[in-house]
Amino acid sequence: MSNFTVRAVQRADDPALAKVPALFGTMHAEMAEQGMGQRLAPDGGRTWLDGVIGGLERFGRIAVAEWDGEVIGFAHAAVKLAPEHLGGGRIGHVTHLYVTPAHRRSGIARALAASLHEWLRTRRVMSIELQVVHRNEAGLAFWRSLGYAPELLQMRKH
C-alpha cells in the first residue's frame, strides 16, 4: 500500500514549494555525477522556482509528490511553441522530474509524469519533449517505458 499523493501546485504560496529548491539542488548534484557539465548556481533551485511560479497552471505545471505529508518529489512541465519552420504548434516540455532515492521504484515518478501528461493534453500539445543526462540509465529506461524515444543528442564544449 502506497502512502504517497501527487498533486498540482495551484498557488505560489503553497507551502510545499518551500521544499522544492533543496530537492532541485539534490537533483542537480545527481545529474553532475551522471555527466552533466553545467553546474547549478548558488541558490539556483530558488532562482529556478522563482522563474516558474508566476506562470503556474497558465504556462507551466509543478506537481509535487508527498509521502505522509513530506515532499519527496516534484516535476515541472511547460508549453512552448515550435518554430514556424516546424509548424509553429504547441509542444510540451518536461523540464524536471525528481524523486528522492529512498522513494524510487514505488510509482511516484510515474504518477508525477501522469500529472504533467494530463495537463499537457488539456493544452493540446502536438508532442512532448524532455532531456535526460546521457549516463542516467535509470532515467532513460523510465522515459522509454512511458513511450519516449531518443531524437537528438545534445553536445557541449567547455
The verdict on domain 4-145 having CATH code 3.40.630.30 is yes
State pLDDT tens for residues 1-41.
468 999 999 999 999 999 999 999 999 999 999 999 999 99
State pLDDT tens for residues 102-158.
999 999 999 999 999 999 999 999 999 999 999 999 999 999 999 999 999 989 898
Give the separation between CA 8 and CA 98, rounded to whole angstroms. 15
Give the pLDDT score at 36: 94
At 94 the three-state DSSP class reads strand
Which H/E stretch holds residue 29? helix 20-33
C-alpha cell at 22: 533543496
Give the pLDDT score at 2: 64
Which H/E stretch holds residue 117? helix 108-122
pTM here is: 0.95
Give the separation between CA 17 and CA 24, rounded to whole angstroms. 11
Give the pLDDT score at 158: 84
Give the pLDDT score at 1: 47
